[in-house]
Amino acid sequence: MSFEKEIARRRTFGIISHPDAGKTTLTEKLLLFGGAIQEAGAVKNNKIKKTATSDFMEIERQRGISVATSVLAFIYKDKKINILDTPGHKDFAEDTFRTLTAVDSVIVVIDVAKGVEEQTKKLVEVCRMRKIPMIVFINKLDREGKDAFDLLDEVEQKLGLSVTPLSFPIGMGYDFKGIYNIYEKNINLFSGNSKSNIEDTIAFDDVSSPELDTMIGEKAAGELRDNLELVHGVYPPFDTNAYLEAQQQPVFFGSALNNFGVRELLDCFIEIAPAPRPKKAEERLVMANETDFSGFVFKIHANMDPKHRDRLAFIKIVSGTFERNKPYLHVRNKKKLKFSSPNAFFAEKKEIVDVSYPGDIVGLHDTGNFKIGDTLTNGEALNYKGIPSFSPEHFRYINNADPMKSKQLYKGIDQLMDEGVAQLFTLELNGRKVIGTVGALQYEVIQYRLEHEYGAKCTYENFPVHKACWVDAEADNDEFREFKRVKQKFLAIDKRGQLVFLADSQFSLQMTQQKYPTVKLRFTSEFE
């Protein structure tokens, strides 16, 4: 198959939502349709020992939440689909934000009963800023929830989207009869026991036909006709170009747990979703069909296989082909590296691949060469933008609880920080280590992983800091030297060697900005 055709058949997307909206369940069902798994795992049910395929860290299995982005790939109708299942929990939002730099489109999952929730707002805001095409999937229709039109209004108002429904529910909760697929003009009837089998659809062009009354009952048929008339009257017809330009968002309804409405979503998705898109580097815009290889690291994961202590850097291929055993330039280190066993993923199952194309995600075994945001190319010095570290909101001193294991502790902290789980600051005054995180739950994850993956124990002490700000001084002038002298006990160095000011309160931050105007303080580590 030609290079251009390989690019055209790739679809790389992320699934985002608030926790518990059913994102991981939807991922499972997409894999089921793709024939990649035979049976989907119930994410929450402890009686069933089979857990979700995309949750492979031990702590995820115990808590029933996703704490790391996982990468899954499968073939469906000759399209190569790469899914990035992201954590929904707000404490792991940074991982999700970074993942959004590696996707070409997004599916937003919304719970029919809860509607638009806080975390969904933040993530959709990022997608809107980056003009990522979005499809909305309203989930859990087999439960009682909000009226479909109220939900569509809520999505438009709270998320600032311009929606157009491509399917519409027939009833809801106890009265849920099925879904009318506006996009394909067919009806999918719900039987309620379809957890492992996939429903048949009935082609249905003419909803005014009396056959509809026989099929779903007069009352439901009447309501469906009224609803569809309203949909056509209120919402604009679906326009693929508007969707690709992120100006229109199609909406599907369904129940991921019951495999319902998922096939419709997937069939429409592979037809309309974009193939790999161009990506902006600091130097220029890079097109997917360029023959020279380039890609960037958006995630690092240590110990995916605890038996082998391996560390993998996840690379999104932007242009050209990535070939096994071929040397590529590590732009930051200015070194050529080659990789004998690049991996393609299916959750924690990996297989070695010889050639990968734009849109694919490849895992490279890493001995500590990579950091998040690093670029690999055929030789051109490119630096991809948009993979910042955010200012943490929680800070704690980290202490070694077992002096015999200090080597393991430092190695563990080093690797976990490279993964982007949290950020490490070393105080200039006394060299003490402070860990900053976006959410408090990350401290538990760090403690758990240090003990179970590195055999090291740690304790935490509170460190009262309001905000971490990266210092961007225009010149080493008198004002900057004065700032460093006065604020000495609040200064630290991050893992990249950048100077960071740890402000103890909002007031102190404002006063510092007024007193030292030439010292710029920034809330992300990437200086635009």
Instruction: State pLDDT tens for residues 354-390.
Output: 898 999 888 888 877 888 888 999 988 888 876 656 6
Q: How far is CA 31 from CA 36, 72, 213, in A?
A: 5, 8, 35
DSSP per position, 3-14: HHHHHHTEEEEE
Instruction: Kindly report, as residue ranges, where domains of CATH 3.40.50.300 are found in the chain.
Output: 3-272
Closest CA to 491 of 428, 398, 397: 428
- Return the CATH number of 394-522, one of 2.60.40.10, 3.40.50.360, 2.40.30.30, 3.30.70.3280: 3.30.70.3280
pLDDT at 317 over 60: yes
Q: Which residue has the tokens 């989207």?
A: 161
Q: For the whole model, what pTM was predicted?
A: 0.75
Determine the CATH number of domain 279-377.
Answer: 2.40.30.10
* C-alpha span between 487 and 329 (Å, rounded): 40
Indicate the pairing of strand 178-181 with strand 186-189.
antiparallel
* C-alpha span between 64 and 247 (Å, rounded): 35
Out of 266-275, 282-291, 444-453, pick the least confident: 444-453
Closest CA to 12 of 72, 88, 64: 72
Which residues in 476-485 are b (16+ Cβ under 10 Å) and which e?
eeebbeebbe
Place 65 in a pLDDT band, splitting at 50, 70 and 90: very low
Supply the DSSP symbol for 488.
G
Closest CA to 416 of 399, 437, 430: 437
- Average model confidence (pLDDT) for the chain? 80
Residue type at position 46 = N
Class of domain 3-272: alpha beta
User: What residues form DSSP beta bridges with 432?
Assistant: none
Instruction: Kindly report, as residue ranges, where domains of CATH 3.30.70.3280 are found in the chain.
Output: 394-522
Residue 147's pLDDT is what?
86
pLDDT at 178 over 90: no
pLDDT at 194 over 60: no
pLDDT in tens, 237-273: 999 999 999 899 999 998 888 878 888 888 889 899 9
Mean pLDDT score, 59-74: 56
C-beta separation of 361 from 82 below 8 A:
yes
pLDDT in tens, 24-62: 788 878 877 766 554 444 333 333 334 454 444 555 545
Place 91 in a pLDDT band, splitting at 50, 70 and 90: very low
pLDDT at 133 over 90: yes
Supply the DSSP symbol for 322.
E
User: How many residues does the structure list for the chain?
Assistant: 528
Helix (H) or strand (E) holding 267: helix 262-272
Output helix, strand, coil percentages for the chain, rounded to the nearest 5: 30, 30, 40
Place 197 in a pLDDT band, splitting at 50, 70 and 90: very low
